[in-house]
Amino acid sequence: MQEKVSIVKIGGNLIENEAVLDEFIEGFSKLEGLKILVHGGGKLATQLAEKLGIETKMVDGRRITDAETLKIITKVYGGYANKTIVAKLQAKNCNAIGLSGADLNLIRSVKRPVKTHDFGFVGDVEAVNAAALKLLLDHQITPVCCAITHDKEGQLFNTNADTIASEIAKAISKDFETHLYYCFEKNGVLRDINDDTSVIEEIDTNSYQKLLEEKIIADGMLPKLFNCFNALEHEVAKVYIGSIKMITDPQTKKTTITL
């Protein structure tokens, strides 16, 4: 029987709120068994860019990453956000190590092809170093992975954190029973975006199509759900979307994604 690994992704909305982050760290540190944390930090990067007078350009909700923006993202994701999380985990006796995709050749990407827009230094994941992750997990070390990857030719890339979490889950699913959790500020996928209690508790491929037709699922939730189904199609055991409470309380209302 394979050992279980919990892969938890948190976004910038949770990281920027210190009280919420502390609550999450408390719960994550108590999560039993092996675990990996994946984080973004887009809001913090946007705030720093504004202070430095650098315009943040978005297309269809996705950030255009020029050379100056990449410097900011590297400072925020790989520096402040990553090391703050690691330090807080160490304070809870969770032995963690902060990593970008360049460290240990962990996540290799290619520059996103130019179609309608050139997103700049944005990477699409090509490969995950599952052996390196297994080595850390086998030594009871918790990897904390930020949303930066590289091309093994010296170039860093800004990369979608939801995708990184899914790709990591897929890569280690041959060695572990992988459970993937997408934590954000809502209680799950909502039928009514203005009603936090309207959680759709189960979504499979059939109901997903109906929700798309009804335009209940749209915008930022679309790529997240794409990553959920992609993970399940590659032997990831369980995938959930919900609040930070779901990682320690199985009874917490959340959305379970299934094929």
- Beta strands at 107-111 and 123-128: parallel, antiparallel or unpaired: antiparallel
41 is in an annotated binding site: yes
Name the residue among 225, 219, 128, 211 with its Cα closest to residue 182. 225
CA pair distance 166, 240, nearest whole angstrom: 12
Torsion angles phi and psi, residue 18, rounded to 5:
-60, -40
158 is in an annotated binding site: yes
pTM: 0.95
The pLDDT tens digits of the residues spanning 172-220 come to 999 999 999 999 999 999 999 899 999 999 999 999 999 999 989 877 7
The pLDDT tens digits of the residues spanning 17-32 come to 999 999 999 999 999 9
42 is in an annotated binding site: yes
Domain range for 81 is 4-257
pLDDT band at 59; cut points 50, 70, 90: confident
Q: Considering just the CA atoms, what is the radius of gyration of the chain in Å?
A: 17
CA pair distance 202, 3, nearest whole angstrom: 25
User: Is 57's pLDDT higher than 90?
Assistant: no
CATH (domain of 113): 3.40.1160.10
- Beta strands at 62-63 and 58-59: parallel, antiparallel or unpaired: antiparallel
Structurally, the chain folds into a number of domains equal to 1
